[in-house]
Structure 1
Amino acid sequence: MVKKLLLSLGALSLLFPALSYADDPSAAQLNMGLNALWVMVAAILVLLMQGGFILLESGSTRMKNAGHVAGKTIFTLGLCSLIYWAVGYGFTFGADSSEALNKFIGTGSFFFDPSISAGEGDNYPSTIFFIFQLAFASISLSIAWGGFAERAKLSSYLIFTILFTAVIYPVVAHWIWGGGWLAQDGAQDYAGSTVVHLTGALAAFAATVLLKPRIGKFNKDGSANEILGHNQVFSALSVLLLWVGWFGFNAGSALSVGDGFFGYVAFNTQLGAAGGAVAALLISWLVAGKADITSMLNGALAGLVAITASCAFVAPWAAVVIGLVAGVLVFFSVKFFEKMKVDDPIYALSVHGAAGIWGTLANGIFATQELAEKVGVGQGGLIDTGSWHQLWVQFESVVVCGAYVLAASFLILGVMKLVMGFRVTEEQEIIGLDLSEHGTYGYPEQMKKAQQNL
């Protein structure tokens, strides 16, 4: 018993050094320490979602591209970190600009050089806030890669990472989270249905349109061929990892331990995800006569995406409704894009785009005045207040942010296509990006066996 007590005290002294040097640490110090610990844990959860994206993209595509998927994800995460440190964070949260300029873009804090610890009165160290926000930027970037899958050159990932992290994502994030003009209008996007998910999805849309479909996806008569991913177990495991990471995403956005409000946010997050998974499986079963696993996995993620904007603003029953609608919406959205001959291997446009739009608009319908006041952003939605104001603000944020991301992404990728070309050759696509871009296979034994059997 004594040994356990000593170990516990030792652990506490490591977590909160102030306890070792002050007989009576202030409540502010303890509160800051707890906040810092929670936000750091949340940031780690969000960063670990990259593992979910590796499994999701590799599992949903063919074996010959698996190593490429894993490698480019780690590479772009590293590059994104450097660019966000250099300029992205400053454009999002920099506070050196004039009041007029700050409505549109932040300036300052470039090549971010933080203090080594929290200052007097701070809720957490700025270093931890930076890591948390960096994790969000990297997730939006990973969503964009869905539009590049199985046919883009590695060099295109390098260039687009730099420009997306420097001038696309930070602008939208500043408008809504950094004190920009949409924030001043009261736009509600608690953890990023628009900022993170819709931004990434629309960048993916621009890429998949300019790259055009994968070889063999569509026939001359316009009918689609199903190009199956190589590992559905990977895809299911990826959804579970992303689902767990989402608690860092949403609940972490409380940025404090406080009165435990982050628990309410997590509660709504779970209900939204559950509604999406159940609705998608049931609608696929009803429409197709078979309970489609891929649709169910997409539904779970769509529920998570949709509840991301509203998890802190709505009652639990509304979280369930938001998830249920997202699950149905994603099923029909996938069918729609395929009918429009848009090749979206990872379903980014439906899971993150359609569900991101729905999740953002849902605030204008279901947000309660009580929770809007608690969070300190906007006001209650149509059902609670009878006012259309918040729904209009949510619609405005979707349209304006969507238009900016589409225009910037098409411009950047269009120039890349003209100057350097960003799709691999037909021969390289057929043999796979593992071999053509990296000179080796992600599954060398299996691929060698397949070649021997040809």
Structure 2
Amino acid sequence: MTIETLNSGMDTIWVVLTAAMIILMEGGFALLEAGFVRHKNNVNIIMKVFVDITIGVLCFYLIGFGFMYGSDLLGLIGTNGFMLKGDLSHLDLSISLDTFWLFQGAFVIAVISIVSGAVAERINFRAYILYAVVMTAFIYPIAGHWVWGGGWISKLGMLDFAGSAVIHALGGFSALAAAIFIGPRKGKFTPQGTSTIALPSNLPLASVGAFLLWFGWFGFNAGSTLSATDVRIGHIAVVTMLSAASGGAATLLYTLFRYKRSDAPAVINGSLAGLVGITAGCAFVSDEVAILIGAVSGLLMLFATNWLESRRIDDPVGAFPVHAVSGIWGTIAVGLFSTDVGLFYTGNWHLLGVQLLGLVVLCIWGFVLTWIGLSLIRIWIPVRSTEEEEEMGLDISYHGVLAAYQENEFINYQDHYTEFNKKDD
């Protein structure tokens, strides 16, 4: 066995394991979002996550991967690699194509899951399935090609190691477009514009979801080396940990001193904001800068949450503040603090300019294409659930489940479905 063969085998094991960690993050998304929404919509949240990991993965395999990593056409789109067929030697991989696809397939699930939370409790389930196809086959892969697939933004030199911009800013602005397009939940805002509070159904469940996401993020960031022997792995893991801790600590202390109580949802989202913020620069910044990135991410998340409320935009899980705002800051921070080419280390403005340009393009792309996609979907089916479905709860309306948590072991089958079937008659 040669050294090259041994290294390739180790890299394959590493990438498969980290891909599995990222896929486990879907369990984190499911628990986090289920904990943040009301009981009557818990099952619907879980089913949307299953849409992400089933429909989304298949669409990425059939179409999306080719658009993202196929041979470049004018810096805009990939032209081969659909169903992993064709010559993809330009990728110059040290691992097999199958292994690389598995890792990238895990990434695409995360993007669509960001949008899922922003439209929780009021999107038509069938419409969500169609939107998942649009996102995983077209919106994300084409944007990903520009930055990671050899497209025009990558040629300018943009640095986004694991996706603060490509995944989180793009997904966050797609989530914002979807939330505005669909509108707020019934009763979320009074006629005078005052926001009401929809109490989370299970904050302990949401916290467990956040911990699972935190765990998977080590695969997200460190796994993006695609190499088990990359000496940066330890540093990437450390700055990931520090930024998440700093984001949570900043929100904990801010809410404690500002409101005289430490707000649990804010601390949960603050830690996630810290993870989002460090994702672009985890291979490029120092430990101290990671702490700064995390703290600023957490505080920006709080301010963005208040901004959404003031604009009467309903985002039940904080998808836009956590992913878009923190993703923007984390991507800009690379241009400022990269130890090799950042402004504060070299005095060179080029990288910062490229980071800003890339962000503007990706955010506009996610917002506009989501709006167009939902507009087209609305031609065939309603994008929003009816008032009756929303009032009854999407669990029973779309999945025939009375409640996510049952006290009785046995129930009468006919009684269980009577109201559900009446709705369809």
TM-score, reference length from structure 2: 0.93
Q: Pick closer, same or farther for the CA change 1:210–1:446 going to 2, 3 Å.
A: farther
> Displacement of 1:342 after TM fit?
0.4
Instruction: Please give the alpha-carbon distance, in whole angstroms, between the structure 2 residues aligned to 1:182 and 1:196.
Output: 15
Preserved contact between residue 61 and residue 345 of structure 1 (Cα < 8 Å)? yes
Q: Which amino acid aligns with 2:183?
A: K
> Displacement of 1:171 after TM fit?
1.1
Q: Pick closer, same or farther for the CA change 1:397–1:233 going to 2, 3 Å.
A: same
Secondary structure of the residue aligned to 2:161 is coil
Cα deviation per residue 1:37-88 (whole Å; 9 max; x = unaligned)?
0010000000000000000111000011111111221133111111101110
What's the counterpart of residue 390 of structure 1? 351
**Percent of residue pairs identical:** 39
What's the counterpart of residue 428 of structure 1? 389
Instruction: Please give the alpha-carbon distance, in whole angstroms, between the structure 2 residues aligned to 1:110 and 1:102.
Output: 18
Instruction: Please give the alpha-carbon distance, in whole angstroms, between the structure 2 residues aligned to 1:446 and 1:152.
Output: 28
What's the counterpart of residue 56 of structure 1? 32
| Aligned residue runs from structure 1 range 55-204, under 5 A | 55-95=31-71, 97=72, 101-113=73-85, 123-204=94-175
Secondary structure of the residue aligned to 2:78 is coil
Instruction: Please give the alpha-carbon distance, in whole angstroms, between the structure 2 residues aligned to 1:446 and 1:60.
Output: 21
Aligned residue pairs: how many? 408
Instruction: Please give the alpha-carbon distance, in whole angstroms, between the structure 2 residues aligned to 1:102 and 1:92.
Output: 13
1:439 aligns with 2:410: no
Instruction: Please give the alpha-carbon distance, in whole angstroms, between the structure 1 residues aligned to 2:284 and 2:271.
Output: 20
Instruction: Please give the alpha-carbon distance, in whole angstroms, between the structure 1 residues aligned to 2:146 and 2:52.
Output: 25
Instruction: Please give the alpha-carbon distance, in whole angstroms, between the structure 2 residues aligned to 1:425 and 1:110.
Output: 38
Larger Rg belongs to: 1
Instruction: Please give the alpha-carbon distance, in whole angstroms, between the structure 2 residues aligned to 1:332 and 1:287.
Output: 13
Cα deviation per residue 1:232-267 (whole Å; 9 max; x = unaligned)?
001110110000000000000011022432111111
1:265 aligns with 2:236: yes
Instruction: Please give the alpha-carbon distance, in whole angstroms, between the structure 2 residues aligned to 1:273 and 1:179.
Output: 30
Instruction: Please give the alpha-carbon distance, in whole angstroms, between the structure 1 residues aligned to 2:94 and 2:154.
Output: 21
What's the counterpart of residue 247 of structure 1? 218
Instruction: Please give the alpha-carbon distance, in whole angstroms, between the structure 2 residues aligned to 1:386 and 1:76.
Output: 43
Secondary structure of the residue aligned to 2:304 is helix
> Displacement of 1:405 after TM fit?
1.4
CA RMSD between the two structures? 1.9
Preserved contact between residue 67 and residue 441 of structure 1 (Cα < 8 Å)? no
What's the counterpart of residue 342 of structure 1? 313
- Higher mean C-alpha deviation, range 434-443 or range 344-353: 434-443
Q: Pick closer, same or farther for the CA change 1:357–1:301 going to 2, 3 Å.
A: same
What's the counterpart of residue 364 of structure 1? 335
Secondary structure of the residue aligned to 2:357 is helix
Secondary structure of the residue aligned to 1:170 is helix
> Displacement of 1:155 after TM fit?
0.6
Instruction: Please give the alpha-carbon distance, in whole angstroms, between the structure 1 residues aligned to 2:13 and 2:183.
Output: 45
> Displacement of 1:420 after TM fit?
1.9
Q: Which amino acid aligns with 1:336?
A: W
Preserved contact between residue 51 and residue 132 of structure 2 (Cα < 8 Å)? no
Consecutive unaligned residues in structure 1, runs of 5 or more:
1-24, 370-379
Cα deviation per residue 1:15-42 (whole Å; 9 max; x = unaligned)?
xxxxxxxxxx110011001100001000
> Displacement of 1:114 after TM fit?
8.6
Preserved contact between residue 32 and residue 122 of structure 1 (Cα < 8 Å)? no
Preserved contact between residue 80 and residue 86 of structure 2 (Cα < 8 Å)? no
Preserved contact between residue 114 and residue 126 of structure 1 (Cα < 8 Å)? no
> Displacement of 1:413 after TM fit?
0.8
Instruction: Please give the alpha-carbon distance, in whole angstroms, between the structure 1 residues aligned to 2:290 and 2:197.
Output: 33
What's the counterpart of residue 375 of structure 1? none
Preserved contact between residue 162 and residue 224 of structure 2 (Cα < 8 Å)? yes
Instruction: Please give the alpha-carbon distance, in whole angstroms, between the structure 1 residues aligned to 2:136 and 2:230.
Output: 34
Instruction: Please give the alpha-carbon distance, in whole angstroms, between the structure 1 residues aligned to 2:376 and 2:85.
Output: 33
Instruction: Please give the alpha-carbon distance, in whole angstroms, between the structure 2 residues aligned to 1:195 and 1:442.
Output: 36
Instruction: Please give the alpha-carbon distance, in whole angstroms, between the structure 1 residues aligned to 2:376 and 2:4.
Output: 52
Instruction: Please give the alpha-carbon distance, in whole angstroms, between the structure 1 residues aligned to 2:13 and 2:192.
Output: 57
Consecutive unaligned residues in structure 2, runs of 5 or more:
416-425
Instruction: Please give the alpha-carbon distance, in whole angstroms, between the structure 1 residues aligned to 2:23 and 2:45.
Output: 17
1:33 aligns with 2:33: no
Preserved contact between residue 270 and residue 299 of structure 2 (Cα < 8 Å)? yes
